[in-house]
Structure 1
Amino acid sequence: MPSLDDTTRGRVLFGGDYNPEQWPEETWREDVRLMRDARVNSVTVGVFSWARLEPRPGVRDFGWLDRLMDLLHEHGIGVVLATPTSAPPPWLGRLHPETLPRDADGRVEWWGGRQHFSHSSAVYRRYAAAITEDLAARYAAHPALTMWHINNEYCTADHGDEAAARFRGWLRAKYGTTDALNTAWGTAFWSQRYDDWGEILPARHTHYLKNPAQVLDFRRFTSDMLLECFTAERDIVRRHTPHLPVTTNFMPLFFGQDAWRWAEEEDVVSVDLYPDPRDPVGGARDGALVQDLTRSQARGPWMLMEQAAGAVNWRGVNHPRPRGLNRLWSWQAVARGADAVCYFQWRQSRQGAEKFHSGMVGHAGERGRTFQEVRRLGAELERIGGEVAGRQVTADVTVLHDWHAWWAAEQDGRLSSRAGHPNLLAAWHRALWEAHLTADFAHPEHDLTGRRLVVVPQLYLLTDAAIDNLRAYVEGGGTLVCGFLTGVADEDDRVRPGGVDPRLRELFGIRVLHEWWPLGEGETVGCDGFRGTLWSEEIEAADDLDERIDYRGGELDGLPAVLRRGRAWYVSTLPEPDALRALLARIAAGAGVRPVLDGLPQGVEAVRRGELLFVLNHGREPVTVAVPGPHRELLTGVAVRDEVRLERFGVAVLRP
C-alpha cells in the first residue's frame, strides 16, 4: 500500500489548507509567489469546495480547479486533493432534507454551517460518491496530485429515522436475536426488554438516565457509520490512483471515533492540533500527548494536517502565539514523528465564520510577524528535512488507551464526573513527559511483547482478551502500572465480579475491593509521602504484597493506596502531579527505562528520533542544557560539545 513516504520523498511536507475559491484569481499568482518564498511544498485543496464544484445537482464546474492545479504544478507545489463532502451545498439539504442529521432531541441540523450530513443517508452517500468519482477521474493523472484527503474532521452523529433503521441493522448483525441484545443491554432493568427490532431507537432524549449499554453501542455504531462513509470515498479514489496514499484528519483525542480501527483503514494518519498558546508549557504537554498517540496509530511517521499559525477563533478569549512559539511547536511535532507540518489555513479569510482564525498569511500580509515566522520555519524544514523524514521515534514506555473504555466510562450514572478518562490520561502522560520519558500508545489487546513498561491510566472497560493480555505481559517479565477504575466492566458494560475482574485482583494483590471513595472538588487524601486527589478506594490487600504505600488519616487510614505484587503495580488514587511523576520515574527506572537526558531544566523537552536528539525549550527564559559528547546542531551548523544553549522557545536538533 502507498504510504506517507511516497509523498514526502525524503523531505518534510510544509504547507496547509488552501481555499482559493474565497479569492479572485489574480490573487492566486501572489499566493504561489509567497508559497515559494516560504518554501511551501504541499497544499490541501478542495476541502470545502462542493458548492463551487457542483453549483446545481449534477452540474460540474472544474475549470477553476484545472487552472489552479496547473498553476501549483508550474511552481513545484504538490496538491493533497480533498473530497468536499464534509460541507454539502445548500441545494442538497433543500431538495433532500433526509440528508440532514438530527440531534438527540430530534432537532434538524440545517445547512449554513458545515458537517451537516447524515452518515446513514443513502441520498447523501450517493451524491458524495458521485462528486468523488468525478474528481478522481478528472485529476488522477494530474502531475500536481500527491495524496487524497477524504472529507474533513468526521464528527457527525445522527439520531434520525434513517439512522435508526441503520442502527437496527447494525445491532441485528452484531447480536442476531433480540434475546441476545436484551442480555447484552441488561434490559431487565427498568422494564426495557425489546421484543421486536422495530422498538429499538438510537440513544435519543429520555426522561431520565439512558441505558448505558445502549448508549455504548450507539457510539460504536456512529463510529462505524462514519467509517463506512470514509472507506466508500477512499475506495473510489484508490481505484483511480492506487499508487497515491489516502488520509482523513483526526481531531485530537476525539471522543466520537474508534481511531485505532480508523487508522487501520488509512494509508497516512493525520491529525489537527490546536494547543492553547496562553500556557506554552501546558500546550507542549497537550501537544506531546496527541503527537504520541497519532504516531502510535500510524506506527511511524504521521502528518500534522492542521495547526494555527496564530490565534484561533473558537475559544472564549483567543490569544495569538507569542513570538517563536509557532516554530517551537512545529518542531515538537517533527521531533515526535511528524513528516508533514501543515496549517489551517494558507491565507486568512476576510469573510465567514473563521475570519478571525489565523492563516499562514494573516491580515497583516507578508510583512506581518506571522508570515515572517512561517517563512523562517519553511526554510529550516527545507534545509534539514531530509535528515529527519522517515526516522522512527525511540520510546520505552507504552500507555494503553481504548475508545470503547472511554465511551463506557462517560455515562451519566457514574460515581464521579471528575474522574473522566481524558483528564486521567492527560495527568499520567504529563507525569511521564515531565519525567522526560517518551511514550508510545497501544490498544490493550495489542502485542505487548518486549515493551519495558506498560502504563494504564484508566481502562474502565476491558475485554477478556485484554485482561489475559495484561496478565501474559507481566508473566512474561514486563512491568505494569495501572490506575484506579480499571477492569471494572466487560464489553457490555456489565460490572465484573467483585467490582474489578478477579484476574486483575490476583495480579495486583487485591483480596477485596470493598468500596470506591471518590473525592470532591478540593478534597485530598493523605498517603505515605504524598497526597492523593480525585479518588480513593477501600482495599483489603493480599498477604504477599512486595510493596505497599498506605493511606494516612480519615476513613482509609492504614489501608493500601498503592500496591505492588511482583512486577504489577496498582494505584488507587491520583497522586498530586509531582508525586505521580516521582512514582512513575521510580517504576520506570526499576524496569530499565531511563530519561532521554538527565538533569533537564524545567520546561525543557528531549526526544530521540533515529540518531537525532531534539532539545526544546518551552520556557520564556534562555537555558543551557548538558548534552553528552560532541554533536552538530543542524539548524545552525554549529559544533556542540557538552552543552547547548537554547533561547526562549528555542530548538536544537543535534546529530552525533
Structure 2
Amino acid sequence: MDQKLWKEYPILFGGDYNPEQWPEDSWERDLTMLERANVNSATINVFSWALLEPKEGTYDFSMLDKIVNLLNQHHFKIVMATSTAALPAWMAKKYPDVNRVDTHGIRQGFGKRHNACPNSPNFQRLARGLVEQLVKRYAGNPNIVCWHISNEYGGQCYCDNCARAFREWLKKRYTSLAELNDAWDANMWSHTFNDWDEIVPPDQHTDEFENGGATLGGASLDYRRFQSDSLLANFKMEKDLIRAADATTPITTNFMGTQKDLDYFKWAKEMDVVSWDNYPSFDTPASFTAMSHDLMYGLKHAPFMLMEQTPSQQNWQPYNALKDPGEFRMLSFQAMAHGADTVQVFQLRQARNGCESLHGAIISHADSTETRVFKEAGQIGADLQKLPADLLASQKHAQVAIIFDWNSFWALDFALGPNVRLQYVEQVHAYYQYFYDHNVAVDMISVDDDFNNYQAVIAPVLFMFKHGLADKVNAYVHAGGNFITNAMSTTVDEHDNVYQGGYFKQIEPTLGLWSEEWDVLPPVSTCQVEFNDQSTAKANTVCSLVHLGSAQPLASYETDKFYDATPAITQNTYGKGHGFFVGTYLDQTGMQLLGDRLVDLIGLETTYQPTADSQGIELTTRQSASNRYDFLINTTADTRTYHYEAQPYAKDLLTGKAVNSGLLTLKPYAALIIQSNL
C-alpha cells in the first residue's frame, strides 16, 4: 500500500489519550510512563469540540497545541481526530436542530455523544468550520500519521431535516412517485403516495412496529440506506476538507465490527484504511472475534488498524470480566494474524471520573508501572518491535469466502416473521466457525466482490437477493465454483418485494430445486436431520420444504410432521461446479457434519482435524512477496498442543528460535509468529 501510514515503522502501538481530562502537570509523567511500556503513538482530540470552540466562531487551540508539542517532543506518532463526534452545549442550546429526534418522535437534548443529526445544516456548517481550522493548523505535522474523523458513527434520526433530505434522496433513487409506489408496493394499507411531501420517515409512531418489523419493508430499507448515506456524507465532507490541505496522510474512522447501522462495504470505499474497535465479552468465542477481524479486512481486502481494545476490562457490558494474564497480548496478535497492522487501545490512562472511569487502561488508577496490565503492555510493545517491516506488506489469502450483507441484515430486521430466533449474524458465524475450527482461511466478502477468486462461496441467510445477482451466482457455479446457501436466502429483491414463482427459483440452475414453503420450529422442537450415513443433528428455527429437480439429497428431515424423510440438505451439479442447499439451521454437531462433507465434496485443501489437545489453537497465515508468516495462537486459558508442519528455515520472530515440524506445546494464550521464506 502507498499510504503514509503503512510506511511507518515500527508498528504503531498506542491508543486513545485524553490529557485534557487531567492537570497539565501530569502529562509529562504520563508520556514517560508510556515510553516504559514501549508505547509509540497516541490518538488524541476525539471529543474536544467544546474546548476547541468554546463559543461559536471563537477557536482556542492552546491546550491542543501543548498536547501536540509534548507528543512531538517524545517522538510519539499521532492519530489526530477531528472532535466532531460530540456536540458542545452551546451548540445544542443555540441550534436545537443539531440534536437528533428519536424513533418515538422526541427531540433529544444536550448530552451523551454521537448525537448530531447528520442532515442538520447547522451541524454541517459548524463541523465544517471546526475541521477547516483544525486542518489548517496541524496539516504538515510529520508526526501525524493518520486523521481520525468523528468516532464510531451510527444511530438514526427522524427529524424534519431528515424527512426533507430523505425525500430528496428518494427523488434521486426513483424517477417518479409511480416508480417509488411500485418499488415499495405502496398500495399496502392505503400507502399509495401522490405527493413527495406525503412521505415521512418510518419510525415507531409511523410505520415501524415496536417489537420489530415494518409496514413497508422497502420504505424502511430505503430509510436505513439513507441514514447510512447521510452519515457517510458527513464523513466525506470532513475528508474533503482534510484532503484539501493534506494530500497523503491516510484518513479513517473507527468501525464496530458487525454493528447494524451502517453499510460498511459502501463506507470502506471512501476510506484510505479501515479501522475498528474490538471489544469481545468474557464469553465471546474466539471464532467470532476472528470473523469480525476478517470482515474488517474484507471491506477493502487490505490490512486494517486495530483502533481500540481494552487492555483489561470494559465497563459497559453486562459482565465486565478482567482479561486473564496473557489474554491482552493474545488478542493483539490475533488481530494482527487476521490483518491488523496496528495495535491500539482505549485508553492509555484510565479516566478518574465520568462514564468511562471504570474502563481499563495501560496506566490504571493505581498510577504505577508495576501493575500486571502495564507490564503486559510493555511486553506487547517490545514484541512488536521485533516484527519486520515486511509484515506490514503481507496479506491474507483464502479458498473460501462467506458473504456478509448489510441489506439482508436490515431486511430481516424489518420482516414480520418467520421466527424471533432467526439472527442474521449468528447464522453467518455458524458457517464461519466450522472453517475457523479447522484452520481454513476465510475471506468475508460482499455480494459485489468477484466470486471467481474462491473455490467456494457461502451465502448464509442471503435474504435479499438483488436483481442481477442470480446471473452472477449461476455463472460462477457453471464455470466451476461451489455455492452454498441455506433457508430464507433469495427471498426478496432490493425493494423487499418477495420473488414470485417459488423460493430459490432465481438460482434453480445452481441448486437444482425450488421451495414453496417453510415450517417454523419452536425451541421445544425435536426435529432432526439425518445424513445419508445415518448420522444425525438437530434442526433449528426453520425447515424449508423443497421440490427436487436435478439436486440429490445429502440429508433428510427426521420429524413427526408431514415432511418426514423429505430432503433437508442437497447437492447439485451445474456445469463444472456445484450448488449446495441447507434447508434448516443446524446445531454445532450438524455444522461439523455438514462442514466435513463440504470439505470432501468440494475438495478444499485442509488436512487439519482438531483434537481435544489442540482445541482452541488458531493457525492463520499472512504472506508478503518473500515471506510467509504463520500466527500460531492458543486462544484458551489452558495449555494446548499442536502438530505443526514447518517450512524450511522457519523461526519464531518473538523468541528468535528455529521452529521444526512436530508437536508444539503452547501455554495459555501463547502466541508464535513463525516466519519462513516463500
TM-score tier (shorter): over 0.9
Q: Report the equivalent of 1:523.
A: 525
> Where do residues 121-160 of structure 1 align in structure 2 (5 Å cutoff)?
121-160=120-159
Letter in 2 for 1:651: A
> 2:537 touches 2:587 (CA, 8 Å); kept in 1?
yes
- Contact kept, 8 Å, 2:437 with 2:610, in 1: the verdict is no
In structure 2, the partner of 1:634 is 653
Helix, strand or coil for the counterpart of 1:429? helix
**1:557 equivalent among 555, 559, 564:** 564
1:456-467 matches, within 5 Å, as: 456-467=459-470
1:431 aligns with 2:434: yes
CA distance change for structure 1 residues 551 and 328 in 2, over 3 Å: closer, same or farther? same
Larger CA deviation: 358-367 vs 87-96: 358-367
Q: Where does 1:240-639 land on structure 2 (aligned, <5 Å)?
A: 240-276=245-281, 278-279=282-283, 282-365=284-367, 366-511=369-514, 513-528=515-530, 529-555=535-561, 556-566=563-573, 567-595=578-606, 597-599=608-610, 601-610=614-623, 611-629=628-646, 631-639=650-658
Moved more, 56-65 or 332-341: 56-65
* CA deviation string 1:298-348 (max 9, x = no partner): 311111111111111111221111111111011000011100111111101
* Counterpart-to-counterpart distance in 2, 1:259 and 1:78: 27
Structure 2 distance, partners of 1:93, 1:538, is: 52
Deviation for aligned residue 1:544: 2.8
CA distance in structure 2 between the partners assigned to 1:300 and 1:596 by the alignment: 27
- CA distance in 2 between counterparts of 1:545 and 1:142 reads 63
Any conservation in 2 of the 1:16–1:345 contact (CA below 8 Å)?
yes
CA distance in 1: counterparts of 2:253 and 2:2, whole angstroms: 15
After superposition, the Cα gap between the structure-2 partners of 1:633 and 1:538, relative to the gap in structure 1 and judged at 3 Å, is closer
| TM-score, scaled relative to structure 1 | 0.96
Q: Which residue of 2 aligns with 1:100?
A: 99
Q: Percent identity?
A: 32
Note if contact 2:438-2:610 (Cα within 8 Å) is conserved in structure 1.
Answer: no
Flag the 1:524–1:303 CA change in 2: closer, same or farther, 3 A. farther
Per-residue deviation at 1:213? Answer: 1.4
The CA deviation at 1:538 is 4.5
Please tell me the residue identity of whatever aligns with 2:472.
Answer: N
2:617 counterpart letter in structure 1: V
Contact kept, 8 Å, 2:556 with 2:567, in 1: the verdict is yes
* 1:592 to partner: Cα distance: 3.2
TM superposition shift of 1:388? 2.2
Quick check: 1:273–1:304 contact (8 Å CA) kept in 2? yes
- Separation (CA, whole Å) in 1 of partners of 2:102 and 2:341: 38
- Provide TM-score, normalisation by structure 2: 0.93
Amino acid at match of 1:557: D
What are the Cα deviations for residues 378-430 of structure 1, in whole angstroms up to 9, with x where unaligned?
A: 11011115352221112211001111111111115121121121111122212
CA distance in 1, matches of 2:553, 2:203: 48
Q: 1:387 to 1:522 in 2, by over 3 A?
A: farther
Give the drift of 1:522.
3.6
Distance in 1 of aligned mates of 2:391 and 2:413: 39
Once residues 543 and 381 of structure 1 are traced to their aligned partners in structure 2, the CA distance between those partners, rounded to angstroms, is 56
Q: In 1, distance between residues paired with 2:114 and 2:321?
A: 26
Aligned counterparts of 1:619 and 1:421: Cα–Cα separation in 2: 27
- Provide the secondary structure at the position in 2 that maps to 1:286: helix
Q: CA deviation at 1:462?
A: 0.7
| Cα separation, 1, equivalents of 2:592 and 2:471 | 28
1:236 correspondence with 2:241: yes
Aligned position for 1:210: 215
Distance 2:114 2:476 in 1: 42
The answer (yes or no) to whether the contact 2:221–2:411 under 8 Å persists in 1 is yes
What SS does the aligned partner of 1:202 have? Answer: coil
* Structure 2 residue aligned with 1:187: 186
Moved more, 42-51 or 500-509: 500-509
- The aligned amino acid for 1:35 is L
Q: Which residue of the partner structure matches residue 26 of structure 2?
A: 27
| 1:507-543 Cα shifts (integer Å, max 9, x gaps) | 21214x1321121124242211222332343534325
Residue of structure 1 aligned with 2:663, choices 640, 643, 653: 643
Tell me how far apart the structure 2 counterparts of residues 344 and 324 of structure 1 sit (CA, whole Å).
Answer: 18
Closer, same or farther in 2 for the Cα pair 1:32/1:595, shift >3 Å? farther
Q: Give yes or no for contact 1:2–1:245 (8 Å, CA) kept in 2.
A: no
CA distance in 1, matches of 2:68, 2:198: 51
The answer to whether the 8 A contact 1:419-1:534 is kept is no
> Could you tell me which amino acid in structure 2 is paired with residue 231 of structure 1?
K
In structure 2, give the amino acid aligned to 1:551: Y
Alpha-carbon separation, structure 1, partners of 2:226 and 2:526: 39
Cα distance in 2 for partners of 1:620, 1:535 equals 33
Q: Are residues 527 and 596 of structure 1, via their aligned partners in 2, closer, same or farther at CA, if it must alter by over 3 Å?
A: closer
User: In 1, distance between residues paired with 2:606 and 2:670?
Assistant: 20
For residues 10 and 36 of structure 1, what CA distance do their matches in structure 2 show?
A: 16
Residues 256 and 278, structure 2, Cα contact 8 Å, conserved in 1: yes
AA of the residue aligned to 1:607? T
Q: Report Cα offsets for 1:25-83 as digits up to 9, x if no partner.
A: 11111121122212222211100011111111111111121121121112111111111
Q: How much does 1:109 deviate?
A: 2.1
Q: CA deviation at 1:499?
A: 4.2
Instruction: Report the alpha carbon displacement of residue 285 of structure 1 after superposing the two structures with TM.
Output: 1.6
Equivalent in the alignment of 1:197: 196
Kindly state the Cα deviation for residue 115 of structure 1 after the two structures are TM-superposed. 1.2
Task: Report how far residue 441 of structure 1 moved.
Answer: 1.3
Residues 1:326 and 1:433: Cα distance change in structure 2 (over 3 Å): same
